[in-house]
A and B are shown apart, each in its own frame.
Chain A
Amino acid sequence: MSGLTLQNVTKEFGTFTAVRNVELTVPHGTFVCLLGPSGCGKTTLMRMVAGLDLPTSGSIRLDDRDITNVPTHKRDLGMVFQSLALFPHLTVGENIAYSLRIRGVGKAEQKKRVDELLAMIHLTGYADRPVAKLSGGQRQRVAIARALAISPKLFLLDEPLSALDAKLREAMQVELRQLQQRLGITTIVVTHDQREAMTMADTVVVMNGGEIRQAAPPVEIYRRPADTFVADFIGMTNLIDFKADGAGTQVLGASVPGLVIPNGLPSGIISVRPEDVHLTAPGNAPITGTVTFVRDLGGTIETFVEAAGKQIVAVSMPNARPDVAVGQSVGIALNPDDCVVLKA
């Protein structure tokens, strides 16, 4: 199969296991985001794919070739570093041409390719500038062009946009995704920013504690999280304990009709997104709570409700503004279809 396959990859630093038994398949031409809190092993995993760290055990295959122990410079990949790592002693053009120069490509051909890449990143005419004279966004583009100069089989980016301000970062996310789709290149991005992952990726790989918690398309990650960590890490959610017995399912001290617990789980946690929590008049819903705080953000309104000693957040649009005030008693309606049942 063409693409990247990681089999049972583990990396230990002394007694610390940074990456544990990772199994991952990245089909050719897909865009994968490794997402997780800092220290979750995502950067280590990418460094092993790049060959900058060698796995303690397991194998890495690229297009049916075992590259587990192939040195970095023989892997034909392109990588963008968090620090960008542009060579300070070279100009923009020389930076982009570096991988071509190393491979002994002729001067004329180098220049042609550099011009192509500069056009691609909208920096035509910048070839002779020193990299120190560029703005943050321009340096970012140069780092991307440099990594793509040899048309690599694999494009790796380690927190590539973290140095940019919020507005530029959002614009670059869209640009990077469009570029990847145009080139059809297999791409892996490490990020801790879930919006970035949701914007760009075909597959989001959520990691924690050196393990993959869930690998799925962005919407599935959001709608159907695999465990409480994923549910809590991606977006806002309400994690509510439940108890199930023959009579029904008890949530927040009330029975929710229609909520079927699979596998006969006696107790666990349900995850409900704040936009799926509907506030009604008390008595119209099985669960009753008291409003403790209302945060009106203009675009959305967050209502904090305390029910059975647990804080629940409900998000609504301004046009569906719930007519509530702090201290008021409200009913909480949950649609069983919106509840994801998870193990505790």
Chain B
Amino acid sequence: MRRETPQKLTDYSPLVFPAGMLIVFFVVPFATMIAVSFFKRNPSGFYTPDFVFDNYARFLSLFFGKVLGFSLMLAIAVAICCIVLAVPFTYLLSRARRRTQVLWLVALLSILSLSEVIIGFAWSTLFSRTAGITNLLVMLGIMDQPVALNPSFGAVLTAMTYQALPYTVLVLYPALVRLDPTLTEAARTLGASPIRAFFTVVVPALRNTIVATLIMVFIFALGCYLLPQILGRPQHWTLSVLITDQAIYQSNMPFAAAMAVFLVLVTLGLVGLTVYAGRKGETA
């Protein structure tokens, strides 16, 4: 089917509604946030319109640099954990029987129905000393006595990976289903063991999908602000936690806005770099 390019202004009319929604609910709030980030904070009240760089200047300190670094590191770690778990899992799932696939996908979708709060408290129970999984290990004779596994970095990482994994699988699933199964068979006839075939054919053939998924999970994990508070120590708090803290508890909207804008810029920079590196790798 060949479609004509829009000729008159009225031909764009179907776009009015989505464009309107996008402007009202995305462009306007984001512009407001950018504007607020240059406002001056009023310690007794809220903030007054101004154009100062105080908020950004305050951000450029060792403390916030460390928090930003940790946030990025945590998001990258979550993204890598998700990919490492989800790619082999989704590959096996896409080769399984139809019924098995449906059951697993329903189970994964049900995780999406859980709120971040429920996931956080469920894991904090599972990691606790009194009712946690270590009690099971004691029962099995693997450990001597139950220990608390949270708050810790591992606990934050596990819960965030748990939360992001369904998205990862659902994004990878269509690409893996479309992947020609004879590609791996061909690799096997050419002398590659199933595991070698997976790493030399499936993973490289899906490189673009994997990079896109990596970016998606990374951004998803950057926005996570509840799990680090529930399962982590203060040094495991991410920039998102600090933004929430500044905006809601300290009533410092301009500073929160400045941190949010900075986070967006850093994220865009990293994503751009990844895409650029991916392009370069393709032509090489």
Stretch from A54-62, A82-90, A300-308 that touches the partner = A82-90
Measured between alpha carbons, how far is A75 from B187 in the docked complex, in Å? 13
A102 close to B (CB within 8 Å): yes
Contacts of B193 in A (CB 8 A): 71, 73
Q: Is the interface of B mostly helix, strand, loop or mixed?
A: helix
- Residue pairs across A and B with CB atoms within 8 Å: the count is 68
A99 touches B191 (CB 8 A): yes
A73 touches B191 (CB 8 A): yes
Q: Is the interface of A mostly helix, strand, loop or mixed?
A: loop
**B148-188 vs A: 1/0 string, CB under 8 Å?**
00000000000000000000000000000000101101111
Residue of B185, B190, B205 near A98 (CB, 8 A) is: B190
Shortest Cβ distance from A136 into chain B, in angstroms? 16
Given A73-B193, A87-B201, residue A81 in contact with residue B182 (CB < 8 A): yes
Residue of A52, A79, A85, A99 near B183 (CB, 8 A) is: A85
B180 touches A83 (CB 8 A): yes
Interface residues of B in 44-90 (CB under 8 A from A): none
Measured between alpha carbons, how far is A68 from B197 in the docked complex, in Å? 21
Q: Please, which residue of chain B has its CB at the minimum distance from the CB of A149?
A: B190
B182 touches A83 (CB 8 A): yes
B233 close to A (CB within 8 Å): no
A72 touches B188 (CB 8 A): yes
B189 touches A102 (CB 8 A): no
Measured between alpha carbons, how far is A89 from B191 in the docked complex, in Å? 18
Residue of A82, A85, A102, A149 near B196 (CB, 8 A) is: A102
Shortest Cβ distance from A109 into chain B, in angstroms? 15
Contacts of A150 in B (CB 8 A): 190-191
A85 touches B191 (CB 8 A): no
A102 touches B190 (CB 8 A): yes
Contacts of B185 in A (CB 8 A): 52, 72, 81, 85
B189 touches A87 (CB 8 A): no
Contacts of A82 in B (CB 8 A): 182
Shortest Cβ distance from A103 into chain B, in angstroms? 6
Contacts of B189 in A (CB 8 A): 50, 52, 72-73, 75, 77-79, 147, 156
B192 close to A (CB within 8 Å): yes
Measured between alpha carbons, how far is A78 from B189 in the docked complex, in Å? 6
Measured between alpha carbons, how far is A77 from B194 in the docked complex, in Å? 16
Contacts of A146 in B (CB 8 A): 190
Contacts of B188 in A (CB 8 A): 51-52, 71-73
- Given A71-B188, A89-B204, A98-B192, 15 more A-B residue pairs with CB atoms under 8 Å apart are A50-B189, A52-B188, A73-B197, A79-B189, A83-B180, A85-B185, A87-B187, A87-B205, A98-B190, A99-B191, A102-B191, A102-B196, A102-B200, A147-B189, A147-B190
The list of the 4 closest CB pairs from A to B, nearest first, reads A85-B186, A99-B190, A79-B189, A85-B182
Q: Can you list 20 A-B pairs, Cβ within 8 angstroms, ordered by A?
A: A50-B189, A52-B188, A52-B189, A71-B193, A72-B188, A73-B189, A76-B191, A83-B180, A85-B182, A85-B183, A87-B186, A87-B201, A98-B190, A98-B192, A102-B191, A102-B196, A146-B190, A147-B189, A147-B190, A150-B191
